Structure 1
């Protein structure tokens, strides 16, 4: 019997895939694991459905620090968070039960909105205008004024999140072994009147990033937390720090972050 033997499956209900899901459940129990109905009771949380589902699984189960997460894709497809697919599901169970686990640790950022509401993000937080008008944001690093941004918005990404929205804005892909986070611009205006750095920049784990939104009619911007959007009225400030939380995942041997980046993009 494996030390970690209680598994919670997170997935979107789909009648077409129900027979496949039931087969996974049966094989799980045949390998001496117990399937639990509550995520809080699990030693291992398994998401089924790709990277988006993995992000939701982590968010919906509270960024747990006392369990392992792992992701399974439906098909042979690249997954930056998911090491396994339906075809090698048995290999995942065997790895957990019989081998010394190789565990990957992903950094998380803390996002504080208006000084009182705290969120966690595994991928990124973004703030964007919801109207046909630029949003103006004063940017502070460690409470010292850095620049005033005017444009469509900003993206603040973790190292693993650097391959997502951040990369589409020409941000750098960052090794998740580096404890840091990255700030990237969305369509900034740079002219004689408005001036920003004009490129992504990376902040060390001990830095605090503060974004103060100018209240000029853009009082209802969209805040994107990983793959969920929140509309919060009268957003005045957002503070971002690297969290002391780390999401622990089961990994396949010889399947590093850079192996997965290569499969996905090259």
Structure 2
């Protein structure tokens, strides 16, 4: 098995990465930084985002697994003291009754940014946000090439289902099961008056729909794509849709999504 490990950089995560390499060597795994079959993220959800974007060009051929060393990890199935069990299962040596690993595929967000100076394309695992840097954002929001609303406020967040438990949740958006092929639009502190009218609630679009956002004044803007930030003053539009690609996670044991939600927010 070809693998690669990406850790958060803190002392515990680095120590666990070294332990993983040692265990992997004992099981005959091959360390491969260019074309791994499995990428192991050791840290938190931010580490998984970094791992995802590191291997963005190889998403169809890679599966991810997360080891949790932080306070909250939706993308991590394993705890720090469970590395020996994880490596044993990865090597197919989990003992009698060991479950075969299951691959789950979650939808991603495709974002096309058009500026006066050119076009940029990105894929997001969690969300895309557009915010005014010096003041409020003024933007026209179209759904399926039809004008939907004229927005004024702090910004707009468009999330994937797996990212719906992150920034989207803090904005009052719904938590969607990550297998649902959809995107969610949530407002960030919208202003409603006679000129600017918005829905005031999150919207969920299916995979065959798309959302376009048009800048409607000269403004300095901050775009965030997962953990990547861009500062623009020449934005024309942003097109968002469910991406054709999906991310793959390898499950060596059951860990239902709603159990993750309960553990994170209720227990």
Q: Report the TM-score, using the length of structure 1 for normalisation.
A: 0.91
Map residues 72-111 of structure 1 onto 2, 5 A cutoff.
72-74=67-69, 77-98=71-92, 99-111=99-111
1:21 aligns with 2:48: no
Map residues 19-168 of structure 1 onto 2, 5 A cutoff.
19-36=15-32, 38=33, 40-62=34-56, 64-74=59-69, 77-98=71-92, 99-114=99-114, 116-131=119-134, 133-168=135-170
CA offsets, 1:112-139, max 9 Å, x none?
Answer: 00072110001000000111x2111101
Q: Is the 8 A contact 2:69 2:79 kept in 1?
A: yes
Q: Is the 8 A contact 2:64 2:248 kept in 1?
A: yes
Q: CA deviation at 1:190?
A: 1.0
Q: CA deviation at 1:20?
A: 3.8
C-alpha spacing 1:148/1:226, structure 2 compared with 1 (3 Å)? same
Map residues 245-260 of structure 1 onto 2, 5 A cutoff.
245-260=245-260
Q: Is the 8 A contact 2:129 2:155 kept in 1?
A: yes
Q: Match of 1:56, SS?
A: helix
Q: Match of 2:190, SS?
A: coil
RMSD, aligned α-carbons:
1.7
Q: CA deviation at 1:225?
A: 0.4
Name the structure where strand makes up a greater proportion of residues: 2
- 1:227 equivalent in structure 2: 227
Single out whichever of 89-98 and 138-147 deviates more from structure 2.
89-98
C-alpha spacing 1:203/1:30, structure 2 compared with 1 (3 Å)? same
Q: Match of 1:167, SS?
A: helix
Q: Match of 1:161, SS?
A: coil
- 2:192 equivalent in structure 1: 190
Unaligned runs of 5+ in 1: none
Q: Is the 8 A contact 1:215 1:236 kept in 2?
A: no
Selected match of 1:204 from 203, 206, 209: 206
Distance in 2 (CA, whole Å) between partners of 1:247 and 1:19 is 27
Distance in 2 (CA, whole Å) between partners of 1:191 and 1:56 is 40
1:8 aligns with 2:4: yes
Q: CA deviation at 1:73?
A: 1.6
How many residues align? The count is 256
C-alpha spacing 1:173/1:66, structure 2 compared with 1 (3 Å)? same
Unaligned runs of 5+ in 2: 93-98
Q: CA deviation at 1:203?
A: 0.3
Q: Report the TM-score, using the length of structure 2 for normalisation.
A: 0.91
Q: Is the 8 A contact 1:78 1:260 kept in 2?
A: no
Distance in 2 (CA, whole Å) between partners of 1:12 and 1:78 is 14
Q: Match of 1:236, SS?
A: strand
